[in-house]
Amino acid sequence: MSAINLYDTATREVGKFTPIKAGEVSIYVCGATVQASPHIGHIRSAVNFDTLSRWLTKSGYDVTLIRNVTDIDDKILHKAAHEKVSWWALAMKYEREFTAAFEALNVAPPTYEPRATGHITQMIELMQILIDNGSAYAPGNGDVYLEVRKLKRYLTLSGQRIDGLLPAVDGDEVISKKRDPRDFALWKSAKPGEPSWPTPWGDGRPGWHLECSAMAHAYLGESFDIHGGGLDLIFPHHENEIAQSEAAGYGFAKRWMHNAWVTQSGEKMSKSLGNSLLVDVILQRVRGIELRWYLSSAHYRSMLEYSQSALDESAIAFRRIESFLKRATEITGSQPQAIIGKSFAAAMNDDLAVPAGLATIAENLRLGNQGITDADSAVITKNANEIRGALEILGCDPFDTHFATGSSTDLTQAMDGVVKLALAERASARERKDFAASDAIRDGLLALGITIEDTAQGPRWSMIEKS
């Protein structure tokens, strides 16, 4: 296996990745809070960690990836009450939308995808440990809090000081019941009309932070290799996960990786700012494979500034790659094989440096097109193979059956057949020297946005790129 170097948010350094158990990698990624339709800011995180999983797998590791679903939360309850629907029905509705968005962008399903409400028992067990060892307390009203002043260490990810924190208020917690305003809720007492579960300290529902610690422990054990999520989760969510897990005696995550945001006009994409771009809306403009290519184009730790023009340019660039692979298949008589080039591997081993990897794809494309001009099948094959190998890791392989069986592909195949019939008629007209008919067919296709190129291997067609 080649050495892989990854950034660690905790140390703020890129260092060699060495898993806890040789040949195996365990990853926990904070997934969706299913209270609204997914926008591309949500999906970027899933794309980034799917790429990480693909690269680790290609590098020879057996990867276990856990991506949770938060299906009980203040926002879910408030929205369900506003829409006058059951909280669980609203959560399931949006969970299905997230699943559809993941599938449209070829994000592979995680090894396990646990829901918070399916792990209440594990949460209660974790709270019992924390109360028994004096790290947490129950003031008697059904709430349970972690006492942050008793922690051996706290705020290691964000680098903040405890005295500089504002009171930890999550929803409708009662600060007066806390020993310190900065103590955070592990469990929230039952409120009228809200769902609740019984515990030794009173009926209630879980706090957000408790859920992930309990589920990570349930599926990955006391220590695991990588914890991932969006940059906005560093504080308070990930800080509090570390706090409660280490207070319970768990080693927890050995490395922390955070992806940056998708922004518009320099601002984080979010519902509250009203600048959210929903995945299903954007998929009416570009294909899933093109949207994934765009979301993958920036380094995972760099902000991705969204604009329609940038998305359109990215889609056009990807279509050029597809066109070369299609042409290479026509010339060589077989689909390219997925082979990882040395330059692409070096880029991915350097903290998933996808932009550097895209530069290697661009060079492969240049050399491959030159190979077509020179009629050099060996050069065509080598570069097509390396492009496909890179696209497979990025989840953008156009030969992947995930994309090849979609309705858009069926339409393309049907169009290909129709155009080939027109080209056959054009060839027949030229053979009988009926150039007027030949030109009429060409002009008719051109009017439909289809351009014809006569090559040594015969005519080929492509759609005209719109600016």
365-386 residue pLDDT tens: 999 999 999 999 999 999 999 9
Please report which confidence band the pLDDT of residue 425 belongs to, taking 50, 70 and 90 as the band edges: confident
pLDDT given for residue 173 in this prediction: 56
Q: Report helix, strand or coil for 67.
A: strand
159 burial (CB, 10 Å; 0-12 / 13-18 / 19+) is exposed
426: its two tokens: 């054009």
Q: What is the pLDDT of residues 301-312, one digit of tens each?
A: 999 999 999 999
The Cα–Cα gap between 265 and 385 comes to 38
Q: At what angle do helices 239-247 and 120-132 cross, to 10 degrees?
A: 60
**How much is the pTM?**
0.86
Phi, psi of 203, rounded to the nearest 5 degrees: -70, 150
Radius of gyration (Cα) for the chain, nearest Å? 27
Overall average pLDDT of the 457-462 stretch: 68
pLDDT in tens, 252-297: 999 999 999 998 877 776 765 555 689 999 999 999 999 999 999 9
Report residue 237 as tokens: 């969510």
459 confidence band (pLDDT: 50, 70, 90): confident
End-to-end CA distance of the chain: 44
